[in-house]
């Protein structure tokens, strides 16, 4: 079993703190549910008393039966890609193109209109917004949305948000609410002071669910271990043991996302040096596993298999017993667990 253990009380205390510090917060549950799974996040969002939950895409709405409020779909609905939008009074669709707006004109669908930011992902630009004005008047617009970059210049996100608010005012477009992402507490505070009439709805995922890393831990179970002599061959690759030691078989493999890390932006020199070092080690056929034994991350004996990993342990370290659970360093947004244990 590859398990996620959650200190439920600690985790909930953290989510309640975030909720209290971010007025209007909309929790985000998408993809693998930040490691916890979509239905768990739906349950937690309900417990928190949130009125709206944001999901990544349309097919995730079904996973949220445990949530009683409205569900905002972040991925813009596009008629040419997603087909007809079925009626659902609890769902709010995001629209980010004039094709989508005109396809929904006169319908009863609830929509949030996304505006293009320096993110350059989805959204209407100024020209398209001007063209969209006639459609907007005959739609159930719940608000406007901005998806902002994380690495913004100082207060850049505030200025970008303010600019769009100014544009909407100038065009005389009513703004029932403004859905934003990745704004700091200070940013939100400044915006609130500048635009007290605008109801901000900050969408928060990572900080809410993963902001207290000591409240959860991934663990793999020791399934077997084998003493090997120096030179003895093992594994799919039949590599020879570099010395006497133990091959430890631990649950957690590629199907769980173990050691499949999402590319991360390598910007600092130290981080770059580390990446080169890791690449270099990988090139020599050895790579550091995320599995901890006796307080240290250990080497993979060979690349992880589908559901288990083979870990190399030098003879000097006494091997764990079958059934022991080992802490595994994982990236939560790319990991799926066999079970969730909420302690």
Ligand X SMILES: *Cc1c(COP(=O)(O)O)cnc(C)c1O
Residue numbers 71-110 binding ligand X by CB under 6 A: 74
Interface pattern 171-190 for ligand X (x via CB under 6 A): ----------x---------
Q: Is 147 in the site for ligand X (CB under 6 A)?
A: yes
CB of 54 to ligand X, least distance (A): 7
| Closest CB to ligand X among residues 56, 79 | 56
Torsion of CA 139, 140, 141, 147, to 10 degrees: -100
Residue numbers 229-288 binding ligand X by CB under 6 A: none
Residues in the interface with ligand X (CB under 6 A) total 10
CA–CA distance, 189 with 126 (Å, rounded to integer) = 26
Please identify which residue in the block is written with the tokens 């370290």.
317
| Closest CB to ligand X among residues 110, 147 | 147
CA distances 245 to 193, 228, 314, Å, are: 64, 6, 4
CA–CA distance, 329 with 343 (Å, rounded to integer) = 19
CB of 146 to ligand X, least distance (A): 9
| Closest CB to ligand X among residues 149, 235 | 149
CB of 30 to ligand X, least distance (A): 6
Torsion of CA 316, 322, 324, 330, to 10 degrees: 80
CA distances 87 to 65, 70, 90, 165, 233, Å, are: 17, 13, 9, 30, 61
Interface pattern 1-40 for ligand X (x via CB under 6 A): ---------------------------x-x----------
Q: Name the one range near ligand X by CB under 6 A: 65-73, 131-139, 151-159, 202-210.
A: 202-210
Helix 185-194 and helix 156-170: axis angle, to 10°?
Answer: 30
**3-class SS at 63?**
helix
| Closest CB to ligand X among residues 199, 305 | 199
CB of 129 to ligand X, least distance (A): 18
Taking a C-beta distance cutoff of 8 angstroms, is the pair 76, 115 a contact?
no
First-to-last CA distance in the chain? Answer: 17
| Closest CB to ligand X among residues 262, 316 | 262
Taking a C-beta distance cutoff of 8 angstroms, is the pair 123, 147 a contact?
yes
CB of 218 to ligand X, least distance (A): 18
Taking a C-beta distance cutoff of 8 angstroms, is the pair 76, 100 a contact?
yes
CA distances 1 to 44, 58, 78, 84, 302, Å, are: 24, 30, 40, 41, 20
| Closest CB to ligand X among residues 20, 276 | 20
| Closest CB to ligand X among residues 30, 219 | 30
Q: Name the one range near ligand X by CB under 6 A: 155-163, 203-211, 238-246, 286-294.
A: 203-211
CA–CA distance, 64 with 53 (Å, rounded to integer) = 9
Q: Name the one range near ligand X by CB under 6 A: 41-49, 82-90, 198-206, 276-284.
A: 198-206
CB of 114 to ligand X, least distance (A): 8
- How many C-beta atoms surround the C-beta of residue 176 within 10 A? 13
CA distances 312 to 260, 287, 290, Å, are: 19, 10, 12
| Closest CB to ligand X among residues 209, 300 | 209
Q: Name the one range near ligand X by CB under 6 A: 2-10, 102-110, 199-207, 316-324.
A: 199-207
Residues binding ligand X (CB under 6 A): 28, 30, 74, 147, 181, 203-207
């Amino acid at each position: 079993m590859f398990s996620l253990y959650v200190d439920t009380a600690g985790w909930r205390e953290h989510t309640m703190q975030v909720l209290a510090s971010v007025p209007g917060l909309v929790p985000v549950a998408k993809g693998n549910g930040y490691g916890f799974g979509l239905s768990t996040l739906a349950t937690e969002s309900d417990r928190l008393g949130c009125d709206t939950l944001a999901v990544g895409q349309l097919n995730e709405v079904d996973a949220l039966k445990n949530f009683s409020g409205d569900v905002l779909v972040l991925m813009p609905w596009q008629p040419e890609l997603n087909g007809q939008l079925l009626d659902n009074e609890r769902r709010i669709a995001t629209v980010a193109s004039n094709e989508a707006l005109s396809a929904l004109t006169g319908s009863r669908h609830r929509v949030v209109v996304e505006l293009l930011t320096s993110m350059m992902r989805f959204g209407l630009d100024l020209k398209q917004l001007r063209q969209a004005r006639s459609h907007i008047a005959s739609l159930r617009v719940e608000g406007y949305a901005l998806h902002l970059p994380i690495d913004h210049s100082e207060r850049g996100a505030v200025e970008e948000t303010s600019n769009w608010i100014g544009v909407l005012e100038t065009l005389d477009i009513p703004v029932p609410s403004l859905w934003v992402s990745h704004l700091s507490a200070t940013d939100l505070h400044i915006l609130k002071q500048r635009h007290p009439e605008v109801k901000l709805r900050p969408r928060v995922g990572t900080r809410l669910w993963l902001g207290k890393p000591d409240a959860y831990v991934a663990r793999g179970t020791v399934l077997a271990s084998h003493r090997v002599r120096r030179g003895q061959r093992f594994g799919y690759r039949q590599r020879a043991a570099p010395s006497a030691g133990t091959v430890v078989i631990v649950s957690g493999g590629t199907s769980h996302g173990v050691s499949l890390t999402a590319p991360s932006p390598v910007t600092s020199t130290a981080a770059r040096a580390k990446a080169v070092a890791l690449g270099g080690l990988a090139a020599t056929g050895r790579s550091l596993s995320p599995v901890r034994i006796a307080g240290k991350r250990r080497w993979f004996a060979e690349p992880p298999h589908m559901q288990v990993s083979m870990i190399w342990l030098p003879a000097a370290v006494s091997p764990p017993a079958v059934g022991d659970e080992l802490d595994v360093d994982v990236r939560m947004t790319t990991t799926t667990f066999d079970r969730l244990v909420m302690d």
